[in-house]
Amino acid sequence: MEVTAMSTEDLDENEMLDVDHAWYHTRFFFRWLALLAPPLGLVLLWTSPLATRRRRILGSIALLVGAFVYTAVIIGAGVQVGWWEIEWLGGDYPVLVHRRSRPNPDLVEADRANQAALPAPRIDAAAMREPVWTDFRGPGRAGRSEEGPILTRWPAAGLRQLWRNPCGGGYASFVVAEGLAFTIEQRRDQEVVAAYDLKTGREVWAHGYTARFEEWMGGDGPRATPTYHAGRLYSLGAKGDLLCLGAATGTVVWQRNVLEDAGSSNLPYGLAASPLLVGEQLLVTAGTASAHGTLLSYDALTGDVLWSELPEQQSYASPMLVDDGANPQVLLLTASRLLGFDVRRREVLWDFPWHVRYDNTICLPVRVAEARYFLGAGYGAGSALVEVRPAGGGFQAEPVWENRNLRTKFNPAVFWQGHLYGLDEGVLACVDAETGERRWREGRYGYGQMLLTDGHLLVLSGDGDVALVAADPAKYEELERLHALRGKCWNVPAIAHGRLLVRNSSEMACYQIGITSR
C-alpha cells in the first residue's frame, strides 16, 4: 500500500488530533484565550500548526472585529467605574484621560469663604496707571502686549508665582483695569462675573445670575471675555445674558439678553464673541439667522437697543474695530463670510466668502496691513490673506494667497515683522505674511493659546505649560518653559502691569513676567 505524506495545511482541522503540540494550541484553550485577549489569539492563530490558511485569514478577520468590540467594552467599563474619562482636547477625536478638566465648586466656595474672613484687600488703582489690557486679547484684539520688556531668561524654578486660586468653569480670559482682573466663570448653576485684586488674587466682588450652558465636546460655562471701558464692565454669557456692571463694585447698571433681543437661537457651542465698544455704542453678535438682525447695537450707558442689522447666522469669532476715525469700520466674521461694516451708515462695505465646516468659525482675523487681513481655521478650511481694494466707487475683497500652511483652529495667530505665528493644528508655525510660504513648523503645544510680547511668543499649551519662544522666522527656538496650570487650557492669557494672568476651567494663576511687576 502506498502512503502519501500530507501537510497540516492540506488537512481539515476536524481531521487533526490535538496531540503532539502545546496545550495553548488546542481548540479549547485557543478559543478561551482568543476571547479573553484577542491580540494574543491572533498570535496563536498564526503560529498554530493546526490552522489552515483559510482559517487563519477568516480567523484574523473575526479576531480583529472582536478586538474592536473588546476594546470598546473595556473602555466603556472603565468610564463607567471611573478608571478614566473621555475628553476632547481640540483634535479630531476625543481622548482618554484620567480626569476631565472641570471646576470643583466645593473648593471654590471654601476658598472664597476663607478669603471673606480676611480683611478686605486695599486696591491700589492709582499705582496701576492707565489700563493696558481692557479687551479680549489686549489692545485692538491683536493678541500682543506693548507694555515693555519682559523676562526672557527665567529662574530654574520658572517665573515667580504671585498668586493662585481655584475658579469656576468656562473659557473666558481676563481684562485688567483699576487694579482689578475681571473674568466670567461658571459656578454651579450660575454664571458669575468676578473681579480679583491684581496684586493678591483676592476676590473683590462677584455677581452671579442663573444661567448654565452645557455642551459635552466644548465644555460647560461662559466663553466670551468681558470688555472694560470708562469704569464699566460689559460681559456676555454663553446663553446671551448681556450685563453692564460698575467695575469698582460689581453693581448692575443694566442687563439684557442678546438672543431675545435678536429673536435668535443660540449657537451649538454657545455665544463666545466679546462685546465691542465703538464710541458710545456696544456692539454684540447674537446666534442663528434672524430677520431682526444678529448684529446688535446697544447704548453703552443705558442698554437701550439702538439698531440691529445683518440677518445671517453669526460665528464664535469676536468683532474687531479696524478704523476708529470719523467712519469707524468693524471687521466681522459671520458663519459664511468676512465683512467690513460701516457703523455710522449701518451698511456692509465689502465682504469675502469664508465658511468653515460645521459653521465653526472661531478665530479672529489678524490685521497685517492697512487693508490686509489673515484668516485661519481648522476643519479643512485652511488659511488665506485677504486684501480690500477700492473698486467701482466701493470696495472689493480678493485673496492674495490661500493655502493650508497655518490652520489656526481656535487659537488666533499673531503678526510680527512681516510674519504670522500661530498654532497650526496644535503645532507652532511661522508663515511669511506676504507670500503664505511656511518658514518652519515645530513644537507641539496642542490647542492652547498665544500672545506676542517684547518680540517673543508666549504660548500657553493645551495642557497648561507656558513656553517662551523666539519670534524668529529663521528658526524655531523655545527659550523657556513653565508648568503653570493643571488640566486643559483653552483660555487666552493676559499681560498687564508686568503680570501674566492665566486660567482654565478649574484654576487661575498670576506670574511675574515683566522686568518688574507694578
pLDDT score at 98: 73
pLDDT value at residue 483: 97
The continuous run of DSSP H or E covering 465 comes out as: strand 465-470
The position carrying cell 433681543 is: 261
Q: Tens digits of per-residue pLDDT, 404-447?
A: 999 999 999 999 999 999 999 999 999 999 999 999 999 999 99
CA distances for 394 relative to 135, 328, 347, 354, 389, angstroms: 31, 16, 12, 20, 9
Q: Give strand pairing partners of 386.
A: 373, 399
Position 118 pLDDT exceeds 70? yes
User: Would you state the pLDDT for residue 517?
Assistant: 60
- Reading the block at residue 256, the C-alpha cell is 439684557
Digit-coded pLDDT (tens) for 447-490? 999 999 999 999 999 999 999 999 999 999 999 999 999 999 99
The mean predicted confidence, pLDDT, of the chain is 91
Over 70: is that where the pLDDT of 6 sits?
A: no
339 vs 518, higher pLDDT: 339
Q: Edge-to-edge, what's the strand order for the sheet holding 394-403?
A: 366-369, 372-377, 382-391, 394-403
Give 336-346 pLDDT, tens digit per residue: 999 999 999 99
Per-residue model confidence (pLDDT) at position 329:
93
- 288 in Cβ contact with 310 (< 8 Å): no
Which stretches within 209-349 are classed as H helix? Answer: 258-262
Contact 77, 143 (CB under 8 A): no
| pLDDT (average), residues 280-302 | 98
Instruction: Name 97's bridge partners.
Output: 85
Provide the sign of the torsion angle of the four alpha carbons 123, 128, 134, 138, taken in this order.
negative
Beta bridge partners of 459: 450, 467
Question: Taking 80 as the threshold, does the pLDDT of residue 388 lie above it?
Answer: yes
pTM over 0.95, yes/no: no
Residue pLDDT, tens place only, 173-201: 999 999 999 999 999 999 999 999 999 99
